[in-house]
Amino acid sequence: MNSENENYIKSLILSYFKIRGKNYSLLEIRQIFGLQEKQLDIFLYELKNLKYINYQEFELTITKEGIDFLEKSNQYNNFRVKEYKYKYIDFSKAKPLDEPYIPQNFLKKI
């Protein structure tokens, strides 16, 4: 993995800690980012050495330096849940599951 990808994964891990706070799961982090246990340990060790996360009272938390890093990499504001807009789904127009779905402008051979 090159350093650009590693920095990106580090920023995503920091964003995860920023969003989840103390409700984090190391297993969930591994599953989300497709990391093995040893890889995650290395990332957490590097983040701790950079003082982006802190290990205190058996918990990992993001530090002020970690938040500053996210702000500098323009990722701090990208994860605000209230900014996401969800499309309203009108279930009255839903098609039954036993009918095949045919996309618009689909060319059929007869």
**Residue range 64-97, pLDDT digits in tens:** 999 888 888 766 555 554 444 556 667 777 778 8
CATH of domain 3-90: 1.10.10.10
For residues 16 and 29, the answer to whether their CB atoms sit within 8 Å is yes
Neighbours of 22 (CB within 10 A): 8
Global pTM value: 0.64
**Residue range 7-34, pLDDT digits in tens:** 889 989 999 999 888 899 999 999 998 9
Residues belonging to the chain = 110
**Residue range 41-52, pLDDT digits in tens:** 999 999 999 999
For residues 24 and 17, the answer to whether their CB atoms sit within 8 Å is yes
Q: Rounded to an integer, what distance in angstroms lies between the CA atom of residue 89 and that of residue 59? A: 40
N-to-C CA span, the chain = 50
pLDDT at residue number 84 = 47
Backbone angles phi, psi at 9, to 5 degrees: -65, -40
The structure tokens listed for 89 are: 């789904």
Closest CA to 11 of 55, 82, 62: 62
For residues 28 and 67, the answer to whether their CB atoms sit within 8 Å is no
Band of pLDDT at residue 40, cut at 50, 70 and 90: very high
What are the structural domain ranges in the chain?
Answer: 3-90
